[in-house]
A and B are shown apart, each in its own frame.
Chain A
Amino acid sequence: MTLTIEFNTTEPYNFPDERGHFGPYGGVFVAETLMEPIDELGIAYERYMKDPEFLKELDRDLQHYVGRPSPIYHAERMSRHFGGAQIFLKREDLNHTGAHKVNNTIGQALLAQRMGKTRIIAETGAGQHGVATATVAARLGLECVVYMGEVDVARQAQNVLRMRLLGATVVPVASGSKTLKDALNEAMRDWVTHVDDTFYIIGTVAGPHPYPAMVRDFQSVIGRESREQMMTQTGRLPNALIACVGGGSNAIGLFHPFIGDADVAMIGVEAAGDGIETGRHSAPLSAGRPGVLHGNRTYLMEDDDGEIIETHSISAGLDYPGVGPEHAWLKDIGRAQYVAITDTEAMEGFHTLTRMEGIIPALESSHAIAYAMKLAPTLDQDQQILINLSGRGDKDINTIAAREGITL
């Protein structure tokens, strides 16, 4: 395996444009009633991202409430075992609420508060974004409604209880495939009905502009810290970044601050489910084509008629038929490469990290680990791979028990 960067990194990278386009991707594809609230959000976002008071409050919360900066850990035993590149982990699993999601929900909730919105809504798949949203809503005393597909409500019962304990109303969504994409549809319907007092906290780098740029900017703290920490701890930048990609927020958060670094390869890992060739997967960048869904143009999993098809992954957080438009663009311009890891390979990644380093990763993050296990042995021992360990695996215990025939 080789680390390839086809993109000329001396070219300026200024995306999106003012209407939210990453080349042909992104944009604003919503019904008329949402145009005004989206404009309002765009103006507020531009304003507060330049407001020193807002940024100070955000930084303070990230430090004292989330627990940032998250450490970078050198997985020495695992690196030795694979005998190739040195493997480093960015420990987003150590954040409050157990994943990277809170970086974004803190930012958006503070923005909601500045905009005078009193009601927060969110969609969730695995429940991590729902929990992270319910958490910040509880802290700020905002009403919170979380939409979640019926299928996900059943397979993520613990997170449903967490959200309810935090005071959120969890609404099971029974339409369509009853998973994350349908929860997103339902949240959009709620927003269009309550535009005056409601702020919609989208959990990933998808949706209409400004969401993909805004969520990226809130998550970029991951990459900014990583640059500094790698320089401090190792004296140089990593040769490759690896992150799992569902919607792609943890991956963009890690990648974005490195886009101009000529020697840093970026690898996004999609969910191959039962295998790309079976059609039962969640890998639009690897096996889909461009289309329009949820307010933006991006790669989608769809049939010949343009109907969105059902996805599959062992990991609920990757079980989504689209992907953030910036990933679509990074793929097309050759700045990042995208690969796919099956359920079975992800399980190997899960067990390997757990047994070798004493860290139980989320099934989402296990996809990134599994790919690193393939890549590391092909590289030299003085090369460095940085994996975004985007979440911890406690939430997945039931899924793993069921898969491995263990009765709890």
Chain B
Amino acid sequence: MSRLTHRFEDLRQQGRTALIPFITAGDPHPSFTVPALHALVKAGANIIEVGVPFSDPMADGPVIQRASERSLAHKMSLRKTLELVKQFRTEDNETPIVLMGYLNPIEAMGYAAFCAQAAASGVDGVLTVDMPPEEASEFLELLKAQEMDPIFLLAPNSTEARIQKMGAMGRGYLYYVALKGVTGAGHLDLAEVEKKLKEIRQWTSLPLAVGFGVKNAETAAALGHLAEGVVVGSALVSLIEASKEHPADALLGITDLMSSMRHALDAAPGSSF
């Protein structure tokens, strides 16, 4: 059983929702990332999505675009992101780490080299935003050979056929994009999310994590009723940006938000799926 599957199974038995923060590796500085990952875990994170900076983040809103730019300004890269994960793993062998990013840096490294190095660094799952399953067969084989989970996105307009395909090809969890748009955008409609998650559950028993537009503890708690996991990205990255010159403050900011979300999720009555 993979570290991700194991984690969701434990949480299910405890009746708790996975809290899944996202931060971009190397933002605002490479030295910030490992302490931030540990702080997020202490504040209640169960799984962490680590963003790999990319020059052309097409699916991201301005907040995460700027995080990529800050990170790249310090010469961050996919290789250096893996080094940071490896460093994190020296003190935390429990918390699953999912890399989230775009395909081109992985293509440049080569699928086989990437999969070997990511596994050796302690990566558990890989979410490649611009690689739909239709284009992924070679990559998926290599990921599986290294016992890493491919994480796929589902969206409000995903058809039944696509839900079935992701259900069959995904591992670990499925990431439901709660709104049509880029990361950090708009306002999500809980009733719509609930309806779509029900539809998705007809076709898969994988845990579902919901993200895009989760800005505060209240929204997180409301989603906790509906899904096995809640992903928080832009809200955290905004806090990092606001204190980018003062890493200690940034660390406090993200710890506070994480704690408030953890508290709200745990205080909410158990979900019913």
Contact = CB atoms under 8 A, between A and B. Distances in A.
Contacts of B153: 31-33
A31 B55 contact: no
Given A31-B58, A31-B177, A33-B155, 15 more contacts: A28-B135, A29-B131, A33-B157, A33-B180, A36-B155, A36-B158, A176-B65, A195-B180, A291-B104, A291-B108, A294-B58, A305-B105, A305-B108, A305-B109, A307-B54
Interface in B22-75: 54-62, 65-66, 69, 72
A91 to B, nearest CB: 36
A189 B104 CA distance: 18
A18 to B, nearest CB: 11
Among B56, B102, B131, the most chain A Cβ lie within 10 Å of the Cβ of B56
Interface string B146-180: 00000011111111001000000000000001001
A290 to B, nearest CB: 8
A277 interface: no
B169 to A, nearest CB: 13
Contacts of B56: 176, 181-182, 185, 293-294, 308
A31 B129 contact: yes
Contacts of A185: 56-58
Contacts, number: 124
A119 B213 CA distance: 25
A103 to B, nearest CB: 27
Contacts of A37: 157
B107 A307 contact: no
25 contacts: A28-B132, A29-B103, A29-B135, A30-B130, A31-B59, A31-B153, A31-B177, A32-B154, A33-B153, A176-B55, A176-B69, A182-B56, A189-B60, A192-B180, A193-B186, A290-B107, A291-B108, A292-B131, A294-B56, A297-B107, A302-B104, A306-B107, A307-B72, A307-B105, A309-B55
Contact of B61 (A28, A181, A189): A189
A176 B62 CA distance: 11
Contacts of A294: 56, 58
Among B59, B60, B66, B131, the most chain A Cβ lie within 10 Å of the Cβ of B59
B269 interface: no
A188 interface: yes
Contact of B132 (A30, A193, A195, A291): A30
A17 to B, nearest CB: 12
Q: How large is the interface on A (under 10, 10 to 19, 20 to 34, 35 or more residues)?
A: 35 or more
A302 B108 contact: yes
Nearest to B76: A305
Nearest to A177: B55
Nearest to B136: A29
Contacts of B177: 31-33
Contacts of A290: 107
Contacts of A19: 134
B127 to A, nearest CB: 11
B182 interface: yes
Nearest to A196: B180
A32 B255 CA distance: 31
Which 3 A-B pairs rank lowest in CB-CB distance, beginning with the nearest? A306-B108, A306-B105, A305-B77
Interface string A302-315: 10111111000000
Q: How large is the interface on B (under 10, 10 to 19, 20 to 34, 35 or more residues)?
A: 35 or more
A195 B107 CA distance: 28
A32 B155 contact: yes
Among A35, A182, A305, the most chain B Cβ lie within 10 Å of the Cβ of A305
Interface string B7-27: 000000000000000000000
A23 interface: no
B81 to A, nearest CB: 10
Interface in A176-205: 176, 181-182, 185, 188-189, 192-196
Contacts of B72: 307
Among B132, B156, B181, the most chain A Cβ lie within 10 Å of the Cβ of B132
Interface in B87-131: 102-109, 129-131
B244 to A, nearest CB: 17
A295 interface: yes
B78 interface: yes
A29 B132 contact: yes
Contacts of A195: 157, 180
B180 A193 contact: yes
Interface in B185-227: 185-186
Nearest to B60: A189
Contacts of B157: 33, 35-37, 195
Contacts of A182: 56
A354 interface: no
Contacts of A248: none
B144 interface: no
B79 interface: yes
Given A185-B58, A192-B181, A307-B72, A28 B134 contact: yes
B78 A292 contact: no
B197 to A, nearest CB: 15
Among B58, B77, B182, the most chain A Cβ lie within 10 Å of the Cβ of B58
A27 interface: yes
Nearest to B102: A292
A153 interface: no
B22 to A, nearest CB: 15
B58 A292 contact: no
Contacts of B105: 305-307
Given A19-B134, A32-B152, A32-B154, A293 B65 contact: no
Interface string A161-183: 00000000000000110000110
Contact of A293 (B104, B106, B109, B180): B104
Contact of A188 (B58, B134, B162): B58
B182 A192 contact: yes
A29 B130 contact: yes
